[in-house]
Amino acid sequence: MSRRLNDKTIAVLATTGFEQVELTEPVDALRNEGATVHIVSPEEGQIKAWDQDQWGKHIKVDVAVSDANADDYHALLIPGGVMNPDFLRQNDDAVSFVRDFFEQHKPVASICHGPWMLVEADVVRGRKLTSYPSIKTDLKNAGANWVDEEVVVDEGLVTSRNPGDLKAFIAKTIEEFGEGKHEGQTASESGGRSASPGSI
């Protein structure tokens, strides 16, 4: 079987309150394609999932977001859950980490409430994307072209609405992560900075 992500190292940005299946299913799929996946978080040790209407499993944290560098990764995944991005967007290191992927033209995938982090990082202006409907207005106010579709791909940015979209979301995430950098994947409509020297 072809493993399309054998040479890729992927960051997954999450904290306690992430929606369980929106992390576990994409991570399993990425690893099955050969990717090395690191869970990056402001918390140390473990983070706890939210599983529909109750607390779920614990996930081991690999890298503290304060120590994480986008230069070391090929792509970024941001799962949803209401609490997860709400906590993350209050963390300056997490917000900067997200923005750096756009400035380096690297693919980013985010589902459900995850795109809240894209608003905080100020990277959605002029971009086509989707999300959980309750944050539609926030995305529009930040300049995004919001659409109601199961998966939206815009120059390396992959977004979906909810766990029901995971099959399509995962397929497009693997495809975009495999393709690598996209020049249209930038931190603003006018374009972001070039990648740092020596970054992957």
Closest CA to 87 of 47, 125, 140, 141: 47
Selecting among 58, 105, 112, 182, the annotated active-site residue is 112
Structural domain tally of the chain? 1
Average pLDDT, the chain: 93
- With a pLDDT cut of 90, the percent of the chain lying above it is 87
pLDDT in tens, 40-82: 999 999 999 999 889 999 999 999 999 999 999 999 999 999 9
The residue that leads in pLDDT, 181 or 107, is 107
Residue of 58, 105, 113, 182 marked catalytic:
113
**Is 74 tagged catalytic?**
no
Q: Is position 4 within any domain? A: no
> Tokens 């690999």 identify what position?
62
| pTM for this prediction | 0.92
Q: In whole angstroms, give the CA distance from residue 146 to residue 138.
A: 10
CB of 98 within 8 A of CB of 76? yes
pLDDT at 191: 41
Answer yes or no: is 191 within a domain.
no
Q: Report the CATH number that the domain containing residue 15 is assigned in CATH.
A: 3.40.50.880
Does the residue 56 lie in any domain? yes
Measured CA to CA, the distance from residue 112 to residue 53 in angstroms comes to 15
Residue 117 counted as domain residue:
yes
Instruction: Evaluate whether residue 24 is within a structural domain.
Output: yes
Domain assignment of residue 130, yes or no: yes
- Residue 168 belongs to a domain: yes
Of 62, 63, 55, give the one whose Cα is nearest residue 84.
55
Range of the domain at 158: 9-179
| 195: in domain | no
Tell me if residue 113 is catalytic.
yes
pLDDT digits (tens, 9 = 90+) for 134-188: 999 999 999 999 999 999 999 999 999 999 999 999 999 999 999 998 988 987 6
pLDDT at 68: 97
Average pLDDT over residues 16-25: 97
